[in-house]
Amino acid sequence: MRHESSTADIPRHGAVPRHIAVIMDGNGRWAKQRHLPRVAGHRRGVEAVRGTVRACVERGVQFLTLFAFSSENWRRPPDEVALLMQLFHGALTSEVEKLHRNGIRLRVIGDLGRFDARLRKLVEQGERLTAGNAHLTLTIAANYGGRWDILQAVSRLLREHPEAAHQGISETQLAPYLAMSYAPEPDLFIRTGGEQRVSNFLLWQLAYTELYFTDTLWPDFDAVALDAAIASYAARERRFGRTSEQVEEAKRAQTSANGALA
């Protein structure tokens, strides 16, 4: 069946992104620059997470997704991996109640089977406690990879609908099986630390996301740095395959519709 496109199909572009996804890079370099052990950078990075969550709530961001631990991070030195697990465990123990008091919903995505039972239980408890909150959905990607996400989604779809192997799979059919099926695709992707790549993060979901790279190391990322990223986003024209003229037509139509409802 042919889909008749319309300017009404173009997503609205607000000044504040609805969903921000972040690769929090630079903890180790931040510590090295100060002649400190890497653990100091990771601990300071946890403080930056708190500040970013607070700033997103204040600015009206509805979804914040943080890449905390990739499936490739297991290749790091064992003592650093152990430290990251301890920090994750400590954060879940100390922060979930605060998130709940502030109306923040916690979700954790990734292949959690490799984590120990205590950590998995804390994740389950945190998600259950905060399930009804609506001020902000904070998603932590842990042992996550974008390729893993697509493969697990296809596998789950085929288990439940084996006929799809012969009939073909559409994007609409696959979408509910992706790890972030509960959230809109990110509007803005931020990577700190100066690197300019997406590193196997949300490969499916970032198809039309605006990308923003900053040299700021994650422990130094604060509300001012967040505002700079949002300002860059707000200055861009998001066309989603359309022309600038179509985007402007959609804006005029939306403004006219809003006026008629007023």
Where in the sequence numbering do the catalytic residues fall? 25, 73
Helical segments of the chain, H only? 27-33, 38-59, 78-101, 117-130, 146-160, 164-167, 171-174, 223-234, 244-261
Cα torsion for 118, 124, 127, 129, to the nearest 10°?
-90
Structure tokens at 218: 């994650």
Amino acid at 244: S
Nearest to 225 by CA among 51, 13, 63, 64: 51
3-state DSSP assignment of residue 43: helix
Contact 70, 199 (CB under 8 A): yes
Q: How far apart are CA 215 and CA 1, in angstroms?
A: 47
The Cβ of residue 206 has, within 10 Å, a number of other Cβ atoms equal to 16
105 burial type by CB count under 10 A (0-12 exposed, 13-18 middle, 19+ buried): buried
Q: How far apart are CA 202 and CA 200, in angstroms?
A: 7
3-state DSSP assignment of residue 107: strand
Structure tokens at 41: 């950078």
